[in-house]
Amino acid sequence: MRVRVAPSPTGDPHVGTAYQALVNLAFARSRGGVFVLRIEDTDRARSSLESEAAILDALRWLGLDWDEGPYRQSERLDLHRSEVDRLLAAGSAYRCFCTRERLDEMRRENRARQRFPGYDRRCRGLSSEESARRAAAGEEHVVRVAMPTEGECVMQDLLRGEIRREWELIDDQVILKADGYPTYHLACTVDDHAMGISHVIRGEEWINSLPKHLRLYQALGYEPPTFCHLPLLRNNDANRSKLSKRRNPTSITWFRDAGFLPQALLNFLGLIVSSRAEGEEKFSFDQLADGFRFEDISLGGPVFDLDKLRWLNARYLREDHDAAGLADLVREWSMGRERLAAIAALAQPRLETLGDWGRLTNFLFVDAPEVERAKLAVKGLEEAQVAEVLQFMLWTLEREQEFTADVIQGHFRRLSEALGLSLRDLTRPFYVAMSGQTASLPLFQSMEILGPDLVRARTRRAIDALGGISGKRTKKLQKRFEAVRAAS
Ligand code: GLU
């Protein structure tokens, strides 16, 4: 029995990844199986080594250690390409030479005539001679899998049982991109087979892709594994929307930086996995693995309830540590030597006695400071405009991998110029968002010390304190943001 978790290194280490890793690992441990970690980095534009390193760190911090790997898909391209060649030779896949313009036009037509939104399969009719000749002449192309056009795809999911889909509604998916890199669908299928994965346990968002994967299994002559699609985590809001960083912290590093214990977060995710309603809610990973059963996973979208997590965390703090142990934990979390030295350097010019220390630096030792709405005001701007400015900076920082004071300062300078605001006006609401105060330790250095997750969470809280920004408004703003970015 072999299972895997296969995160894409395209952003923060997401709690959804931890949740999937936990289920896979618990299942593996309960059956003496092997847990593999695979990094799915074939999206060259979006993958980064920083993100990969953060994912590995986060999984280790949680104790979700892998038995094998990490494997990187980008190091396995030869295998992916030779499998694509095999599909081409067998006629199960074909080269597509359609240009972007043609595809755009086709999409418009599909919409206008309310036709099937996928590719219209024009290149599927090319003879293999013509296809080979054009490829040899260097004409740019992708490779698509040829899906069956009639009958039904019958799938089995461990939690849902049988699922049926009409083949004709499934697109001829691109499996090899023009840059010679495989898409997720191809790389994942080839690697799951090559790595001997017996159970593919992953997020529900992939269930619609299962027909494509099954077709690839069949065309490549592979025996398909057992599939299990886990329900997505949900926000604790009225419409139970999909967990998103807009509403909730979703980055595992945020939980660490905000002072949660890995055992508590793991336990909390375990509660989500297994809906054993009665009995003790505090349990260890080993206890979870011992009693692991797929039947306990409920399909109703599990809610990510931060209050519940805090409650559980409090129990760990009280029940698993004596006062001396707690003191060690606090020291380790808040006063790691390096972090403390950086804070001391900022505070030093502003201290008259050691007794000033607490007042000055307090905001660097809490998960979030209290923020008063009135303090966020900027003269000459309406509240909604302040919220938008905060949002602009949030988007800028979300893309920033190098989170140093200098880099952050550069962003503030550029944004203030682009928006025609003074640097002072731009930084003012950020002082409040970060520290709760209109004046405090130097802003950019403080942001560096807080780190990306806390900075973003605090910025989001300030936006909420100002009344938030509606979804519709966000769309419009995004357009303006892209324009401002392009111009600066
Ligand atoms: N790379 C995919 C993701 O991050 C993995 C999906 C899968 O497990 O098959 O969602």
Average pLDDT over residues 77-105: 97
- pLDDT bucket at 402, cuts 50 / 70 / 90: confident
Q: Is 92 exposed, middle or buried (CB count within 10 Å of its CB: 0-12, 13-18, 19+)?
A: middle
The yes-or-no verdict on residue 216 having pLDDT over 60 is yes
Pocket test for ligand 1, best of 27, 197, 206 (most atoms within 8 A of CB): 206
Q: Which residue has the tokens 């086709």?
A: 106
As a three-state string, the secondary structure of 111-157 is HHCCCCCCCCCHHHHCCHHHHHHHHHCCCCCEEEECCCCCCEEEEEE
Q: Which atom of ligand 1 is the closest one to the Cα of 10?
A: 4
The yes-or-no verdict on residue 192 having pLDDT over 70 is yes
- Asked if the structure places residue 418 within a domain, the reply is yes
- Asked if the structure places residue 242 within a domain, the reply is no
- Asked if the structure places residue 448 within a domain, the reply is yes
- Asked if the structure places residue 316 within a domain, the reply is no
- Asked if the structure places residue 257 within a domain, the reply is no
C-alpha 206 – ligand 1 centre gap (Å) = 8
Instruction: Record the tokens describing residue 79, joined without a space.
Output: 């295998």
- pLDDT bucket at 114, cuts 50 / 70 / 90: confident
- Give the helix/strand (H/E) hosting 268: helix 262-273
CATH of the domain at 478: 1.10.10.350
Give residue-wise pLDDT tens across range 299-311.
887 888 999 999 9
115 vs 363 pLDDT, higher one: 363
Instruction: Give the whole-angstrom CA distance, residue 437 versus residue 111.
Output: 52
Q: Would you state the pLDDT for residue 173?
A: 96
Give residue-wise pLDDT tens across range 285-294.
999 999 888 8
Give the chain's length. Answer: 488
- Asked if the structure places residue 367 within a domain, the reply is yes
- pLDDT bucket at 249, cuts 50 / 70 / 90: confident
Q: Would you state the pLDDT for residue 246?
A: 65
Q: Which atom of ligand 1 is the closest one to the Cα of 188?
A: 9
Q: Which residue has the tokens 């970060």?
A: 434
| Strand-pair category, 142-145 with 93-96 | antiparallel
Instruction: Give the whole-angstrom CA distance, residue 337 versus residue 202.
Output: 39
C-alpha 231 – ligand 1 centre gap (Å) = 14
Average pLDDT over residues 338-367: 90
C-alpha 171 – ligand 1 centre gap (Å) = 19
Pocket test for ligand 1, best of 5, 8, 183 (most atoms within 8 A of CB): 8
Helix (H, G, I), strand (E, B) or coil at 465: helix
What's the N-to-C CA distance of the chain in angstroms?
Answer: 53
Instruction: Give the whole-angstrom CA distance, residue 81 versus residue 87.
Output: 10
C-alpha 313 – ligand 1 centre gap (Å) = 29
Q: Which atom of ligand 1 is the closest one to the Cα of 5?
A: 8
Instruction: Give the whole-angstrom CA distance, residue 303 versus residue 280.
Output: 19
- Asked if the structure places residue 229 within a domain, the reply is no
Q: Which atom of ligand 1 is the closest one to the Cα of 17?
A: 4
The yes-or-no verdict on residue 78 having pLDDT over 90 is yes
Instruction: Give the whole-angstrom CA distance, residue 128 versus residue 121.
Output: 15
C-alpha 7 – ligand 1 centre gap (Å) = 5
Pocket test for ligand 1, best of 14, 71, 184, 209 (most atoms within 8 A of CB): 184
C-alpha 202 – ligand 1 centre gap (Å) = 7
Q: Which atom of ligand 1 is the closest one to the Cα of 184?
A: 1
Instruction: Give the whole-angstrom CA distance, residue 469 versus residue 269.
Output: 30
Average pLDDT over residues 315-338: 87
Average pLDDT over residues 217-232: 96
Give the amino acid at 229. Answer: H
Give residue-wise pLDDT tens across range 128-186.
999 999 999 999 999 999 999 999 999 999 999 999 999 999 999 999 999 999 999 99
Q: Are 177 and 96 in contact (CB under 8 A)?
A: no
Pocket of ligand 1, beta carbon within 6 A: 6-8, 40, 184, 188, 202-203, 206
Instruction: Record the tokens describing residue 418, joined without a space.
Output: 């682009």
Instruction: Give the whole-angstrom CA distance, residue 446 versus residue 149.
Output: 59
C-alpha 435 – ligand 1 centre gap (Å) = 38
Q: Which domain holds residue 429?
A: 363-487
What is the pTM assigned to this prediction?
A: 0.85
**Closest Cα to residue 58, out of 295, 260, 319?**
260
- pLDDT bucket at 400, cuts 50 / 70 / 90: confident
| Strand-pair category, 34-39 with 199-203 | unpaired
Across the chain, what does the average pLDDT equal?
A: 92
Q: Are 231 and 299 in contact (CB under 8 A)?
A: yes
C-alpha 6 – ligand 1 centre gap (Å) = 5
The yes-or-no verdict on residue 253 having pLDDT over 80 is yes
Instruction: Record the tokens describing residue 461, joined without a space.
Output: 């809280």
Ranges 190-194, 380-384, 392-396, most confident: 190-194
Please state the domain count of the chain: 1
Cα torsion at 79, 85, 86, 87 (round to 10°)?
Answer: 110
- pLDDT bucket at 439, cuts 50 / 70 / 90: confident
C-alpha 64 – ligand 1 centre gap (Å) = 17
Instruction: Record the tokens describing residue 264, joined without a space.
Output: 């508590």
Q: Comparing 80-94, 150-164, 354-368, which segment has the lowest mean pLDDT?
A: 354-368
Pocket test for ligand 1, best of 24, 46, 202, 250 (most atoms within 8 A of CB): 202
- pLDDT bucket at 278, cuts 50 / 70 / 90: low
Average pLDDT over residues 415-432: 93
Instruction: Give the whole-angstrom CA distance, residue 151 versus residue 383.
Output: 57
The yes-or-no verdict on residue 427 having pLDDT over 60 is yes
Average pLDDT over residues 65-94: 97
For atom 4 of ligand 1, the residue with the nearest CA is 7
Indicate which residues carry an active-site annotation.
245
- Asked if the structure places residue 187 within a domain, the reply is no
Instruction: Give the whole-angstrom CA distance, residue 398 versus residue 94.
Output: 39
For atom 5 of ligand 1, the residue with the nearest CA is 6
